[in-house]
Structure 1
Amino acid sequence: MSYKIALVKGDGIGPEVVNAAAAVLEKTGKVFGHTFEFADVLAGGCAIDLKGEPLPEESINICKNSDAVLLGAVGGPKWDSLPGELRPEKALLGLRKALGLYANLRPAKLYPALRSHSPLRSDIARAGIDLIIVRELTGGIYYGERGRRESKTYKGEEAYDTERYSVEEIERIGLRAFELAMKRRKSLVSVDKANVLESSRLWRETMHRLAKDFPEVEYKDMLVDNAAMQLVRCPSQFDVIVTSNMFGDILSDEASVLTGSIGLLPSSSVGDGKVGLYEPIHGSAPDIAGQGKANPIGTILSAAMMLRYSFDLPLEAKRIEDAVGAVLKSGLRTPDIAGKEEAVTTEQMTNRILGFI
């Protein structure tokens, strides 16, 4: 099979980690008989420098005509003084909107070789972490009505943001989560704040209705404050978590810290169309750009997610994931996870992973 992949290398360490992931995809393609056609796409700060805008129309069209998009990172201090609509981060929001992406998938996995890097107590870390958070991406309080006005109760100005969800929005994210649970360990936790928020009560009602169509999935509700505690107390209990935009934003960042380094973690944004957006969760790290210090694993694992979720190639995805696990077990470390051990470069880490594929 042949697949078209748009490469949004972006800023900072983005080009380094995307090049590493592309090399891994090419090697995997040779092993399994697939061809990957790559197209470079301008977006972020580099697009501002060359085109005067963070996401040129040409870049959107290339992404729409691809089978998937792999993104490195966008942004950096160089562009921090620009007005909001011209900031590099607008490229990411623009791509999500243009591609109709409403579900953010954020895995968190603690590799046995890196248990000592987790901030968790050793007995909790030994029990393992292998979960994925399904975050609703285009609704909720981040997209609701907002503004400022004179307060009628207190002196001066007040600000407000509105949490809003429709049944349709909840159903589509819920279906994604149940379908994902069916492909994993058949366990789903829906996180809300139904004891306080009306939007969460509608969320819970809708999820309960969906659960009837997936009797094989062990489903339960959990309040967000309890979920935040349980992620630290006993993360091994979780398989798939589904939640709203703001709760998912917070819980996915909490989960990422438990694994030892954000440089290891992938993510994807998907919708009803064929094109998904895959990216590591780390930033552009301009302070180490071009020095060979970047950890490429998060981007390489994002490429594995692409194979699994956009191309339906689970064996190929597992080959990459197993290669990453084998390299970490061998003791190879980039600076972010090296501690007192000797660190290797981005290229050395990539080459070792290629050797295990």
Structure 2
Amino acid sequence: MLRTAFNAQRRTFATQAAESLLPKKYGGRYTVTLIPGDGIGKEITDSVVEIFQSQRLPIDWETVNVTGGEDSKEGVKEAVESLKRNKVGLKGIWHTDVSRSGQGSLNVAFRKELDIYASLALIKNIPGVKTKLEGIDLVLIRENTEGEYSGLEHESVPGVVESLKIITQYKSERIAKFAFDFAKKNGRKQVTAVHKANIMKLADGLFRKTIQTIGAEQYPEIVTKDIIVDNASMQAASNPQQFDVLVTPNLYGAILSNIGTALVGGPGLVPGANYGREFAVFEPGSRHVGLDIQGQGVANPTAMILSSALLLRHLGLNAEADKLSDAVYKVIKDGKTTTRDIGGSASTKEFTQAIIAELNA
């Protein structure tokens, strides 16, 4: 069993959703919104569906097929309505075409519409995956709804674009409390705020000060630190073992999650979740669409499967979540049936079948 090595991914995760908000169907079954997304999204969510069916887990899927090529407002509407009914979702990544002027990110619009404000990425070495650095075990918590991703930009005159970065005390306070609550519940000792307050003294200064104040006044047992984002990037690449919990504004979290993901073996390995006051959506912690390998059957579904284990834990199905995570780690550690991104030759389907075989062993 690999529970000791991965205990940080097995505890009850900080979430603002009360158990009473989790819907149950007749007979004790949950309905969960399934949003495959773009690129390899359907391939890796199909792995989860196949595994859940094989184990007869009490999950019924309400599938919403929305792609990033659609208009943001119309494309997100159906997914939002489904989440409002079900409260819980499993989601692939939507692709945002940067060449299409005026098209916003569906991912950002979706999170803002449901106020899913806290993004969680679990960045940790997995035994069996060879990496240059070992001993990495950091949690990245990212504010999901404001900062540079506020979506407030316009062309004031031809050739001059103004883009507004929004940082508020209220949202800084709630992401700070989420980060410290997570640290406290999961035995973490340190929370580090990532900022650029040396330049953006008002906006990032407010974020930094808020994290420091919340830590000092409400969580004195947890060490509170802060670090400038460019130094954080260098330190993450050279000495990531020093970090425990990182809490960041939106853009910095996006950058650091990708650095961390590269350190532990790639985007196919990092699970993630997004929490709000009423809703929880589980998706890979590194938000890569995988358009370059779409349809080839070689995608690594580990991140999505481990994200689905977080979903099970969120629903209170802890034993099922532990069993699923153990099976994934066992298959990877054995190294006999792994996908090519981590040195194997197995297809997505073969890897999924290996996990099912381990679950049934």
Q: TM-score, normalised by structure 2?
A: 0.81
Aligned pairs (5 A) from 1:131-150: 131-143=138-150, 145-149=152-156
Aligned partners of 1:67 and 1:275 also within 8 Å: yes
Aligned partners of 1:278 and 1:305 also within 8 Å: no
Corresponding residue SS for 1:249: helix
The residue type equivalent to 2:268 in the other structure is G
Task: Report whether the alignment pairs 1:234 with 2:239.
Answer: yes
| Residue 302 (structure 1) aligns with | 307
Corresponding residue SS for 2:117: strand
> Which whole-Å deviations, capped at 9, do the CAs of 1:214-233 have from their partners, x for residues lacking one?
12322212222221121122
| Residue 3 (structure 1) aligns with | 30
Corresponding residue SS for 1:73: coil
Aligned pairs (5 A) from 1:12-27: 12-27=39-54
| Residue 326 (structure 1) aligns with | 330
| Residue 177 (structure 1) aligns with | 179
Q: What are the ranges of 5 or more consecutive residues in structure 2 without an aligned counterpart?
A: 1-27
Corresponding residue SS for 2:323: helix
Aligned partners of 1:174 and 1:242 also within 8 Å: yes
Q: Tell me the distance in 1 between the aligned counterparts of 2:244 and 2:54.
A: 30
Change in CA separation of 1:73 and 1:138 when aligned onto 2, cut-off 3 Å: closer
Pairwise CA distance, 1:43: 0.8
Change in CA separation of 1:183 and 1:315 when aligned onto 2, cut-off 3 Å: farther
Aligned with 1:203 (options 204, 207, 212)? 207
Q: Tell me the distance in 2 between the aligned counterparts of 1:299 and 1:133.
A: 17
Q: Tell me the distance in 2 between the aligned counterparts of 1:346 and 1:2.
A: 28
Pairwise CA distance, 1:160: 3.6
Pairwise CA distance, 1:20: 0.6
Aligned partners of 1:6 and 1:41 also within 8 Å: yes
Pairwise CA distance, 1:190: 1.2
Change in CA separation of 1:334 and 1:41 when aligned onto 2, cut-off 3 Å: same
Moved more, 172-181 or 266-275: 266-275
Q: Tell me the distance in 2 between the aligned counterparts of 1:95 and 1:148.
A: 24
Change in CA separation of 1:356 and 1:287 when aligned onto 2, cut-off 3 Å: same
> Which whole-Å deviations, capped at 9, do the CAs of 1:69-126 have from their partners, x for residues lacking one?
11123338xx7775543x7x52x233223322111112211213113xx3x3xxxx23
The residue type equivalent to 2:236 in the other structure is L
| Residue 349 (structure 2) aligns with | 347
Q: Tell me the distance in 2 between the aligned counterparts of 1:44 and 1:19.
A: 16
Corresponding residue SS for 1:39: strand
Q: Tell me the distance in 2 between the aligned counterparts of 1:162 and 1:67.
A: 31
Aligned pairs (5 A) from 1:158-173: 158-173=160-175
Task: Report whether the alignment pairs 1:192 with 2:215.
Answer: no
Higher helix share: 1
Q: Tell me the distance in 2 between the aligned counterparts of 1:347 and 1:203.
A: 44
Aligned pairs (5 A) from 1:239-258: 239-258=244-263
> Which whole-Å deviations, capped at 9, do the CAs of 1:5-52 have from their partners, x for residues lacking one?
111123332211101112333455x4xxx5111111121158x5xx99
Change in CA separation of 1:209 and 1:312 when aligned onto 2, cut-off 3 Å: farther
Aligned partners of 2:332 and 2:338 also within 8 Å: yes
Change in CA separation of 1:56 and 1:247 when aligned onto 2, cut-off 3 Å: closer
Corresponding residue SS for 1:254: helix
Moved more, 56-65 or 318-327: 56-65
Change in CA separation of 1:83 and 1:222 when aligned onto 2, cut-off 3 Å: closer
> Which whole-Å deviations, capped at 9, do the CAs of 1:279-308 have from their partners, x for residues lacking one?
463534344333321111111011122223
Q: Tell me the distance in 2 between the aligned counterparts of 1:24 and 1:280.
A: 20
Pairwise CA distance, 1:251: 1.1
Q: Tell me the distance in 2 between the aligned counterparts of 1:81 and 1:216.
A: 48
Q: What are the ranges of 5 or more consecutive residues in structure 1 without an aligned counterpart?
A: 151-155
Q: Tell me the distance in 1 between the aligned counterparts of 2:237 and 2:294.
A: 32
Q: Tell me the distance in 2 between the aligned counterparts of 1:55 and 1:144.
A: 17
Q: TM-score, normalised by structure 1?
A: 0.82
Rg comparison, structure with higher value: 1
Change in CA separation of 1:199 and 1:337 when aligned onto 2, cut-off 3 Å: same
Aligned partners of 1:260 and 1:337 also within 8 Å: yes
Change in CA separation of 1:162 and 1:64 when aligned onto 2, cut-off 3 Å: same
Q: Tell me the distance in 2 between the aligned counterparts of 1:27 and 1:177.
A: 35
Aligned pairs (5 A) from 1:81-160: 84-85=102-103, 89-90=105-106, 92-115=107-130, 118=131, 120=132, 125-126=133-134, 128-143=135-150, 145-149=152-156, 158-160=160-162
| Residue 69 (structure 1) aligns with | 89
